[in-house]
Chain A
């Protein structure tokens, strides 16, 4: 870790998102998610044992992959790099990734019980996978609350980087919880060393869903990052620092 840190503010650069006033990434993401909905509802076979409720997989597990693994993974990487490099951009990336990650984790926590009730006979059970995911959501909300509570930007970035890094450490435990503890939650059927345990039609829907929700995540992340840049530019302007 470097012993000296540059405290010079960098120029605030907005990522270009619009061509002719349209955010094409968002448009493509929405169309992709709509296509996955259509494919999952009308063109994907129903699983014989669980019935139609098994189709919740395509919104539940994809949200978990994107929100937990991609989202909080990005929080961890950006936070660790921020603590090393002290680059404000990395703090903005971590904050944006955490907020969008919390949104996707919310979807995981809301759709999970809707799958659990018809299959397990219970909306919720305090087993390791579910409880750790709920803890991660609380940590994500805590991270965002902490950011709102600290006014000094450098202190806010440092404290939240530490919390973000520690929160993301839960993700591997969440993934491995089904191996480490006795749990109602099924074993991984896709993210495992052997081939996915699904028929090809279901695999196509699942992997298309993963791509579509990853695109949605990217669109949200970029929009949220832009807001952070504009908010900081506005704050700098209002403080009279002469930022353009």
Chain B
């Protein structure tokens, strides 16, 4: 059997890194929006969302 574990270890790591980076980018963009919303007095909390 070929000994090629390293390729799948790297592939699993790369996939995880891409997904984590994208998740972080969503969080970071959400945080920047929340800051701006707070400056303008707009609500974005869960209670406001559920009430709509």
Contacts and interface: CB of A to CB of B under 8 A. Distances in A.
Interface of A: 11, 13-21, 26, 33, 37, 40-41, 46, 48, 50-56, 59-60, 63, 100, 103, 106-107, 110-111, 114-115, 117-118, 216, 220, 223-224, 226-227, 230-231, 233-234, 237-238
Q: Is the contact region of chain B dominated by helix, strand, or loop, or is it mixed?
A: helix
Interface in B2-38: 2-5, 7-8, 10-12, 14-16, 18-19, 22-23, 26, 29-30, 33, 36-37
A56 B8 contact: yes
Main secondary structure of the interface of A (DSSP, over half): helix
B34 to A, nearest CB: 8
B13 to A, nearest CB: 10
A136 B40 CA distance: 39
A53 B33 contact: no
Contact of B2 (A50, A223, A234, A237): A50
B24 to A, nearest CB: 11
B33 A227 contact: yes
Given A17-B49, A18-B49, A238-B40, A107 B4 contact: no
A213 B50 CA distance: 27
